[in-house]
Every structure is written in C-alpha cells, then in structure tokens.
C-alpha cells in the first residue's frame, strides 16, 4: 500500500483547509507590496531627477505586479479545485501544505528580482513559481482522480489537468532561463501567463447546476 493510499484513510474537513489556505494567500499577497520602497529623490522639484528615480524602481514595481497576479491566479484556481472536490483527506492536506510552502517563499525571489533584476534572480523567481504551479496541478490531479464531484465530466477534467502540466509550469521555467538571453523576454512571458488562467478551466454540467438551484 502506497503512502498516499494510507492518507486516504484519514479524512479532513475541507472547509478548514480552504479557510487556512485563504488566510495564507491573503498574508502573502499583502507582504509582497511591502517590498515596494519610496524612491529617494534629492530634489523633488527637479522633474528629471523624479523621472530617474521612478525608472529605477520600475523593475521592483513590475516584479510586484507579476507576483501579485500570480498569487491571485493561484488563489482563484485553488478555490476552483477545492470546489470541484467532494471531500478531502490527508493526501490533499500535505499536497496543499507543499503548495503553501512555495507560495510563502514568493516574496523573497520577488524582492531579489526587483532589487537586482539580474538573470540569476529572475531565473530563481521563474523556478519558484514553476514549482508552485506544478504543485497546484498535482492537487488538481489528486482531487480529480479521487474526489471529483459527479457534476463534472471526469474525462474532460483530466484532459485539462494534462494541459495544465504543459502550460504554466513549463512557461514560467522557460521564461526564467530565457533571462540570460533577455530579461525583457522573461518579463513579457511572466506577464502573459496569468492571462491564460483568468477563468476556471472546468464547468459543471448544466443539468446538475439546475438541480442544485432547485434544491
């Protein structure tokens, strides 16, 4: 019997997992903005000096923007993945804890990338968010395989799970390592990936949704 098979014997309240996760997402997305510092301007009346100061903090600002929307997208799809599950067990708990581990790491590479904007630190950010995305896909797969509600088409959802593996995790990883070619290419990729995930990937069957409304 595998380790995760043993975990299935222990059920866990799905509501508590979601509440704890929401709190972590909220804290991390708040901590990110604390890395934005007011630029030092010796002569605020000098427009040229003001513009130069703004340009200097733009990498930090952009790093915050892409990290903010990354966390927002992770939260959105985490909510959807848990909504699709009928229950949770200790396998879900530990996959979810690993996901939160990577989420909590994000402010550090965000600060390093924003402050130094060098290929190495951009790659570290890309690796971090790639691992985060991969863990979310793992949670997606585990819930779909074991606890998917009957109101979803399991075959269609599994197809989306496979597509997810080849999308965000790979694109973020490639974007990180392309920093040695051009940091601007990396920033463009990092900024575009969230647009692929603005909406949830899976829909409930219309018939079941109508029945839910009647109930």
- Residues of the chain with pLDDT below 70 are 1-5, 7-10, 38-39, 41-51, 53-54, 206-215
Give pLDDT, residue 6. Answer: 73
Give pLDDT, residue 209. Answer: 46
Give pLDDT, residue 50. Answer: 65
Give pLDDT, residue 49. Answer: 63
CB atoms within 10 A of CB 127: 15
The answer for residues whose C-beta is within 8 angstroms of residue 151's C-beta and 6 or more apart is 204, 205, 208, 209, 212
What is the tally of structural domains in the chain?
Answer: 1
Determine the structural domain holding residue 85 and report its residue range: 3-214
The answer for residues whose C-beta is within 8 angstroms of residue 3's C-beta and 6 or more apart is none
CB atoms within 10 A of CB 80: 15
What is the pTM (predicted TM-score) of this model? 0.86
């Amino acid at each position: 019997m595998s380790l995760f098979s043993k975990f299935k014997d222990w059920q866990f309240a799905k509501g508590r997992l979601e509440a704890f996760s929401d709190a972590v997402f909220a804290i991390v997305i708040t901590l990110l903005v604390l890395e934005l510092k007011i630029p030092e301007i010796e002569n605020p009346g000098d427009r040229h000096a003001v513009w130069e100061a703004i340009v200097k903090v733009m990498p930090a600002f952009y790093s915050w923007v892409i990290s903010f929307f990354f966390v927002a997208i992770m939260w959105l799809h985490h909510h959807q993945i848990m909504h699709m599950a009928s229950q949770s067990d200790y396998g879900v708990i530990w996959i979810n804890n690993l996901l939160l581990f990577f989420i909590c790491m994000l402010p550090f590479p965000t600060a390093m990338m924003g402050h130094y904007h060098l290929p190495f630190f951009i790659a570290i950010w890309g690796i971090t968010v790639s691992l985060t995305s991969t863990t979310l896909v793992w949670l997606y797969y585990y819930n779909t395989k074991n606890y998917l509600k009957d109101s979803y088409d399991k075959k269609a959802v599994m197809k989306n799970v496979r597509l997810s593996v080849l999308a965000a995790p790979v694109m973020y990883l490639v974007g990180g390592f392309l920093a040695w070619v051009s940091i601007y290419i990396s920033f463009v990729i990092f900024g575009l990936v969230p647009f692929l995930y603005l909406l949830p990937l899976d829909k409930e069957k219309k018939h079941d949704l109508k029945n839910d409304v009647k109930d």
